[in-house]
Amino acid sequence: MNDGKLTILAVGGHIGDMELTAGMALAKHALEGAHIVTLALTAGEKGAPAGRDIADYRKQKVQEAETFAEMLNGEAIVFDYPDGELSDNDEVRFQVCDVIRKVKPDILITHYKSSMHKDHNNTHKIVNDARFYASLPGFIRENPPHFAGRFYYAENWEDAVDFKPYLFVDTTEGYELWKKAVAAHWFVTGSTSFPYLEYYDHLSRVRGIEARKGRAECFMIPAETYRVIREGL
């Protein structure tokens, strides 16, 4: 984007991952005029309700992603890789690299590395490398290089091992919009396998209390960027 607005790209292994884990922050920034883009590397279609055709549920998931993004005046992108079968290879990395170069995000968000889910772990590695590829002029692609300087990992119950909250974002102003938008996802409100809405709703309040705010979402940053610089104590 070249209109002076803040642009945020949130990349998840499945539709719904970033909407749940970073969605309040996305909603907050959307209300402040930021351009929001979600990218799902798979649709997450294998979480279909019992008896539901997986291909048909995939279409529903894509529509849910688009509805969420539209409610934030943003856009949703979904790759065609099958749920649970996301490969850890350079083909995917360069596809994500191309999205980064096209979207030109100021802020990039994805999964933390320690996950019970293969697609989440692979997404973490893919996005880290894609960010690197996107920044280098030596990789000749359709669009020119772009470096997403602010890079964060969202807090996800499935990516919880070794996750230590580093950045607390006050999402109080984005909470109501998020709650309406995330309800567009069937699994958030209808799944019986895990109470997604209840969990992330309560988590945002706990993190808000810790931050002395109404609501908050937490993020980690790459280990190599851990530093606090001051003139003195």
Give the pLDDT confidence score for residue 144 in this predicted structure. Answer: 98
Distance linking the first and last C-alpha atoms of the chain: 39
pLDDT at 1 over 80: no
Average pLDDT, the chain: 96
List domains and CATH numbers for the chain.
Answer: 7-222 (3.40.50.10320)
Give residue-wise pLDDT tens across range 83-119.
999 999 999 999 999 999 999 999 999 999 988 899 9
Residue 108 and residue 11 in contact, taking contact as beta carbons nearer than 8 Å: yes
User: Each residue of 59-91: pLDDT tens digit?
Assistant: 999 999 999 999 999 999 999 999 999 999 999
Locus of tokens 């005029």: 33
Structure tokens at 76: 């949703």
Compute the average pLDDT of residues 178-207: 96
Q: Which alpha helices (H) appear in 72-117, and where do they start and end?
A: 90-103
Q: What is the CA radius of gyration of the chain?
A: 17
The pLDDT value given to residue 115 = 83
What confidence tens digit (pLDDT) does each residue in 110-165 have? Answer: 999 988 899 999 999 999 999 999 999 999 999 999 999 999 999 999 999 999 99
Spatial CB neighbours of 101, under 8 Å, sequence gap ≥ 6: 134, 141, 142, 143, 144, 145, 146
